[in-house]
Structure 1
Amino acid sequence: MARARNIKPSFFLNEDLAEIDPLGRLLFIGLWCLADRAGRLEDRPKRIKIELLPCDNADVDALLQALHDRGLILRYSADDRPLIQVINFARHQSPHHQERQSLLPAPASFEANGERVRGRPKANSGFISDKSEASPGAIALIPDSLIPDSKTPSSSAVADGLMDGFATFWKSYPRKVGKQDAMKAWKRLKPDADLVQAIGEGLERAKASEQWQRDRGQFVPHAATWLNGRRWEDEPDDAAAQAQHEQWEGV
């Protein structure tokens, strides 16, 4: 079953990744959607082609091997079952909290959640060479701020991004009371893109709840109270929770 995942701008800017066939890059993105919450999936090239590249004349097995050689995925076997581990998947994806745990065994050098075993050399996040983990030219996911030739965002740019996220949150929040207090709570959180999405999804669940819709919303808390209490982490109380997952994706 395909799942919604995130993609960062650094993916399109990396020159090393450009060495991979365009269909290979598209396949790599598609693997994130097929992978479970730990970044693992079955290594079945024919099935993967049907799922991700049904209209293209592509040798998916060769493309998967190219991704493996570049250190982007790990092809391995467990109990005579061919599997794939997407490298650094857990660091860069935020699976929905209702997504079930992985049923596939982790590689020997990885923990159950898809993270590398502590004590082993860690790949830097973004897309840069990591010679300790793979062959020369291997690529590992790294943070956008560490992309070669990229510039560290200025403090004003960070502040602008922070307030853009708050503006989106405030526009969606149903009770327009205590904006300054809510803004202070938001600044204390300093949410990154993943947290902004998690807050947005939690807010949509809360808005759909019976409690918030009761008596014209008189039981909706002030936004600052909701943020300070990290109420977006509350368990959903109705079946509409899953439908809210994609609304805030990409904010």
Structure 2
Amino acid sequence: MARIRTLKPGFFKSRSLAKLPRDARLTFAGMWCEADDHGRGIADARLLKGAIWPLDDDVTFLHVSAHVDMLAATGHIRLYQIDDEAYYEVVKWEQHQAAAYRRGEAKYPPVSAGQEIETLGSRGSVQESATGTQSSAGTGNREQGTGKHISRSTSSTEAFEDFQLDEPLIDPTYVIGSDDDPKFCEFWAAVPKKDGKDDARAAWAKHVQGKGTYKGQPIKQTDPDVIIAGMLAYAERVRRDGTERKHIKMAEGWINGRRWEDEQHPEPRPMQGAGSSIWD
């Protein structure tokens, strides 16, 4: 059962959180409520969707999975696996919650008892994402992306240091298509067949920036939210139709073929920046 938590005013002024989509921030707040008294919870996007977004039909567990992946990538939570179960732990939990109540016994094991992972994958949990990317013990090395620099996240300790406002928490550069690119992370979380990630990075960078050619034709620049919406629609269709894995399109070919145009009205789902939330 979720408990009442303390949410400091600085939560809304955090520069690190401000770099994330608004919906990801609300998911993060909801994960605080779902966590045990030691800041740990089950990292299953389907359960989190039901607990945090029960009345929002336009938010699916794929969206929540992307939120969780982004929170892990920016150092706000740690993801780890024990056997076939995935868990999360809120970074610096004690500094923000210890004074609010008398902590009870931990319901879930600590990070040290398992193996850290980088992402849940599009199915939303370890046992449901056998083809998803998992890291070895520790966070491991981040894969390099392709394209120009936009922003790169700092270490987990810097990213959540008491919500400080007087020091920058996010480096102003990241590589489009890297694991520090929040839009690519959101896209990759939705991909139902997680093969050929490096090729998908290159295709993503070209189409988001409108650079290069494909089959002799110049590539048109496309809003990343349009691509994400199309992939979410495609992933849902694959799930609904029970498509065999061998018939699911690879992400690179799907992007290069502009397959988001095949889906029915894949509207962009802006989630970041002023006036871009689905609440607006």
TM-score by length of 1: 0.45
Larger RCO (CA under 8 A, 6+ residues apart): 2
Which one has the largest radius of gyration?
1
TM-score by length of 2: 0.41
Q: Which has the higher helix share?
A: 1
